[in-house]
Amino acid sequence: MKNARNHIEMAVAMLAAIVAFDIHAQSFPSKPIRMVVPFPPGGPGEVIARPVADGLQAVIGQPVVVDFKPGAGAIPGMQSLMSAPADGHTLFVGSNVLVLSKWLFKNLPYDPQRDLRGIVELANSPYLVLVSSSFPGSSIADLINAAKAAPGKLNYASSGAGTQSHISAEMFSDAAGIKMTQVPYKGAGPAYPALMSGDVTVFFDNVFSSVGQVKGGRIKPLGVTSLARVSQYPSLPTVDEQGLKGFETSSWFGIVAAKGVPDAIVARLNEALNKALQAPEVRERYGKLGLMPTGGSAQGFQKLIDGELDRTGKVVRSVGITIN
C-alpha cells in the first residue's frame, strides 16, 4: 500500500512538473525581449546581434530590442542582465570575452558558470594565421621553422593583451613547440600596418574581420584554425592539415541568459533562435562577413562554454596574462 502511494505521489509530481513546463513555454514571451550587446553600436556585436534579433522577432511575434552596453570584460552589459528578472525576456550576446574575463579580471562581478546558462551558439569565425606578403614562406611549417631558428625573436601582433588573438597565438606556440614574443595593439586596426611593414611577423585574426585586409594583397594567410576549410578560402589548408593535428581556435558568439531562467523558456528560446538562424537573409549576411551560422542545442552551447573556460584558463595561467 505504501509503495502504491509513493508511486501515485511521484506520478502527480511529474504531472505537475510537465504542466508547469507547458505553462512556462506557452505564456512566453509575454512582452518585448531585450538583447543586451556588450559592444559599441556599429561594431562586430551589432553585426552579429541585429540580423538574429530581427529573425527572432519574426519567429516569436514580440519586438526584440537591441540594447548596447559596452565596457571592459562585458561588465556593464552583464550587470544589466543580472539586474533583470530571470524570466527569459532579457538575453545577452556573449562571446569568448565571457570566458576570458573570468581569468583576466580579479574582481569580476559575475561567474559564467555560476550565473549564466547557454541558450544557443549563433556564429563562429575561425582565425587566419596571417603574415606580410613579403614573408619568405607560404606554409605553417615555414612559420614554425622561422620561429625555431630564432627562439623568442619572432614577434606576433595581438589585438591586445588577453584578447582571443593573443590566446590563439599562445595556443599555436604551445602546439608547435615554439616561442614567439607578443606585441599588443589596441585592436586589430593598428596591428595590420605593423604586420604589413614587418614590425611584426605574424598576426592571428578571425576570418570575420580579416577578409577585407586579405583582399588588399599586402598580407597573406598561411592557414585557417578550424578543422575544416572555410568557404571564403577554399584552397587554404587548415593548421590541422598542415601538421598540428587537432589544433582549433575561433571567435564564437552566442546567446546566454541568467541561470535562473526556467528550462521550458530556455527550450522555447533555443527553438526560436534556431529557426531565426535558418532564415536565408541571416545566413547570407553572416556568410558575407566570414561568419559561420551554427545553432544547435542549449546543452551543446553550454558544453562549449565550459570547455572554453577550461582551455583558456590553462593558457592564461601558463603565460601569466593579467589585466588588473
Directed axis angle between helix 164-176 and helix 140-149, to 10°?
Answer: 80
> What rounded mean pLDDT belongs to the chain?
90
Q: What is the mean pLDDT of residues 306-311?
A: 94
> What's the pLDDT score for residue 102?
92
- Over residues 196-204, the mean pLDDT reads 95
- What are the pLDDT digits (tens) for 10-27? 544 455 444 444 545 568
Residue 49 has pLDDT above 60, yes or no: yes
Out of 115-124, 162-171, 315-324, pick the least confident.
315-324
User: Is residue 224 scored above 60 in pLDDT?
Assistant: yes
Q: Is 5's pLDDT higher than 90?
A: no
Buried b (16+ CB within 10 A) or exposed e, 258-274: beebbebbbbbbbebbb
What local confidence, expressed as pLDDT, does residue 213 receive?
87
pLDDT score, position 2? 54
pLDDT at 266: 98
Which ranges in the chain are annotated with CATH 3.40.190.10? 126-224
Residue 28, pLDDT score: 94
Quick check: helix, strand or coil at residue 142? Answer: helix
- Answer yes or no: is pLDDT of 9 > 60: no
Is domain 126-224 in CATH 3.30.530.20, yes or no?
A: no
Predicted confidence (pLDDT) at residue 71 exceeds the cutoff of 60: yes
Residue 139 binned pLDDT confidence (cut-offs 50, 70, 90): very high
- Which residues face 95 on adjacent strands? 253
- Cα separation, 198 vs 201, in Å, equals 6
8-state DSSP, 173: H
Q: State whether the Cα torsion 14-18-21-23 is positive or negative.
A: negative
Give the 3-state secondary structure of residue 245. coil
Smallest CA-to-CA distance from 206 within 183, 233, 179 is with 233
How many Å apart are CA 89 and CA 41, to the nearest integer?
Answer: 21
Q: State the average pLDDT over residues 147-174.
A: 95
CB 106 within 8 A of CB 324: yes
| CB contact at 8 A, 264 and 249 | no
C-beta of residue 191 within 8 angstroms of C-beta of residue 185: yes
pTM (predicted TM-score) = 0.85
Cα-trace Rg, the chain? 22
Which residues make up the CATH 3.40.190.150 domain(s) of the chain? 7-124+252-319
Architecture of domain 7-124+252-319: 3-Layer(aba) Sandwich (3.40)
Query: Does residue 267 register a pLDDT over 50?
Result: yes
| Residue 79 to residue 88: CA distance in whole angstroms | 15
Confidence of residue 106 (pLDDT cuts 50, 70, 90): confident
Q: Over range 80-106, report the average pLDDT.
A: 94
pLDDT of 298 higher than 70: yes
Residues 248 and 226: beta-carbon distance below 8 Å: yes
- Predicted local distance difference test score (pLDDT) of residue 16: 47
CA distance 214 to 219: 6
Whether the link from the prior residue into 29 is cis, omega within 30° of 0, is: yes
Which pLDDT score, from 0 to 100, does residue 47 have? 87
In this structure, what C-alpha cell is assigned to residue 194? 605593423
